[in-house]
Structure 1
């Protein structure tokens, strides 16, 4: 069990970079920055997730810069050098503030779970909430449905805007008893949502082995194995299922490749939900849907992300 010394330095926003440099020079391979300004900064959403910051994790003012050093006989000398370098910052017209240095011992296992504090339950639609599995989230109302996920390394929290668009669309379209195909299932979140919204039979496909394994685990964790089947598959190749609804939250170019297969495997009057589409690809996907024969197109957006609902004619 590896033990490390955590060196936390409370400083000013102006001094974040110089303090980080001092820690790097002392042998830190990286730093953690908890900047109080992050709480009010406007962020562009990451491509694969949304997240929440908690004021409890940040200083009231300024920033805390943290670095980690092996807890061995040399660490005391390392800290002395860091403190001496911090005292010299005013010589370079840098106001480091109080530069309070706090030391703590941490074990490597603690790092594996530290990131979890940033992931909180997110309401995705009127009735659907996605919650990290460790949160022990309690539904706020009797009609609220909860999908519990362990984000892990592969698929983030499952709360990207395109996922939200898909869950909201599934909530509008599913009445109960449908056959659903989820193409490019990833974590399995949409397949699970479909099951919780009343679908009777859900087939989830993905070509990636890690995705298939992740989806299987999440389906089992959410007790949806009686409804959801997860299979390794290249889009709809080899599938002959006639579906009431097909959902695909993947890249626009792949959605266009998928369209003929989706059209042929939908029942008359069936619905195709296509998301994962950035605004710049919107017109291209729209034209491809029309060329394939879909009708009654609806467009739903969150920020720069687009979902199409398209219907196969009766």
Structure 2
């Protein structure tokens, strides 16, 4: 099969919404090439190491690449993607250069090459994420191993927003907590919650592929009986649940839409762990959380990304 690579030159802030647009448009893989990856202190990623080629990266901004099958609908699909990305400015998202280029690639080149960069990564004091195709022996007796199959549709679990989320879950979760995961994606936060002590997780995502991905990864980690994955628009219509913790690694623009529902579904003293927040949106999210009745407990940052932990006082 022939595939077309679409490359968008954009900003770090726009990476996640553009990735979502590409996925919803039928992309069979997403690659993010950020020049900051070559400069960062690897200690901040607990020893994650790979060899990067500077020629693959832009001088400024970020490349987001996706792969689409070459068919009669390709030109229409690409035009739709371009329009959806341009429309992000209406949500006050900086899309930067927004230069789009198209090239043809062989299936074998993109479907397997990316795997060589995805190795076991220790992302917190206890948690190590490993891909399904890698062998790994735990270093410590209390190490928590999450086996993940990103399936090319979701992240590998090593993005700063995911790391911030899992580190927060690890610090604050208690044995037998009941957790709600909003925007579950690959299900990595749901799986992490169970392996770190939660009794049950309800995982919600609007995308049915995300629902299936969560189910697959819960099964890989043998927690499928404790993770209930459902298709749902954020927390709309969710009732009769009382959670100890709600986690959500989405975008600031989405988080502010359901803070009232999060407050409603949390027990008194329960925590709302939010991530996926670009630095420039931090105060907007904090203000909305406080308007819903939350007290801000922690604000943590990694690179340009922020995680906010709020308590239902």
TM-score, length basis structure 1: 0.66
1:114 is paired with a residue of what secondary structure? helix
1:137 is paired with a residue of what secondary structure? coil
Q: 1:247 to 1:41 in 2, by over 3 A?
A: closer
- TM-aligned CA deviation for residue 113 of structure 1: 2.4
1:257 is paired with a residue of what secondary structure? coil
- TM-aligned CA deviation for residue 217 of structure 1: 0.7
Number of aligned pairs? 225
Q: 1:119 to 1:51 in 2, by over 3 A?
A: farther
- 8 Å Cα contact 1:51-1:119 kept in structure 2: no
Q: Bigger CA drift: 267-276 or 146-155?
A: 146-155
2:175 is paired with a residue of what secondary structure? coil
- TM-aligned CA deviation for residue 150 of structure 1: 1.7
Q: Of 48, 53, 65, which residue of structure 1 is paired with 2:50?
A: 53
**What do the CA deviations read for 1:28-70 (whole angstroms, capped 9, x no partner)?**
xxxxxxxxxx9x943799xxxx974248x99xxxxxxxxxxxx
1:290 matched residue in structure 2: 290
- TM-aligned CA deviation for residue 109 of structure 1: 5.3
**What do the CA deviations read for 1:88-124 (whole angstroms, capped 9, x no partner)?**
xxxxxxxxxxxxxxxxxxx965863232111111111
1:42 matched residue in structure 2: 39
- 8 Å Cα contact 2:48-2:122 kept in structure 1: no
1:287 is paired with a residue of what secondary structure? helix
1:280 matched residue in structure 2: 280
The residue correspondences of 1:32-181 to structure 2 (distance < 5 A) are 41-42=38-39, 52-54=49-51, 112-181=111-180
Q: Give me the whole-angstrom Cα distance separating, in 1, the residues matched to 2:40 and 2:304.
A: 14
Unaligned runs of 5+ in 1: 3-37, 59-106
2:264 matched residue in structure 1: 264
- 8 Å Cα contact 1:204-1:228 kept in structure 2: yes
Q: Give me the whole-angstrom Cα distance separating, in 2, the residues matched to 1:114 and 1:288.
A: 42
1:303 matched residue in structure 2: 303
Superposition misfits of 4+ residues, deviation over 4 angstroms: 107-111
2:190 matched residue in structure 1: 191
Q: Give me the whole-angstrom Cα distance separating, in 2, the residues matched to 1:111 and 1:288.
A: 41
Unaligned runs of 5+ in 2: 3-34, 55-105
1:224 matched residue in structure 2: 223
- TM-aligned CA deviation for residue 210 of structure 1: 1.2
2:209 matched residue in structure 1: 210
Q: Bigger CA drift: 246-255 or 147-156?
A: 147-156
Larger radius of gyration: 1
RMSD between superposed Cα atoms in Å: 2.8
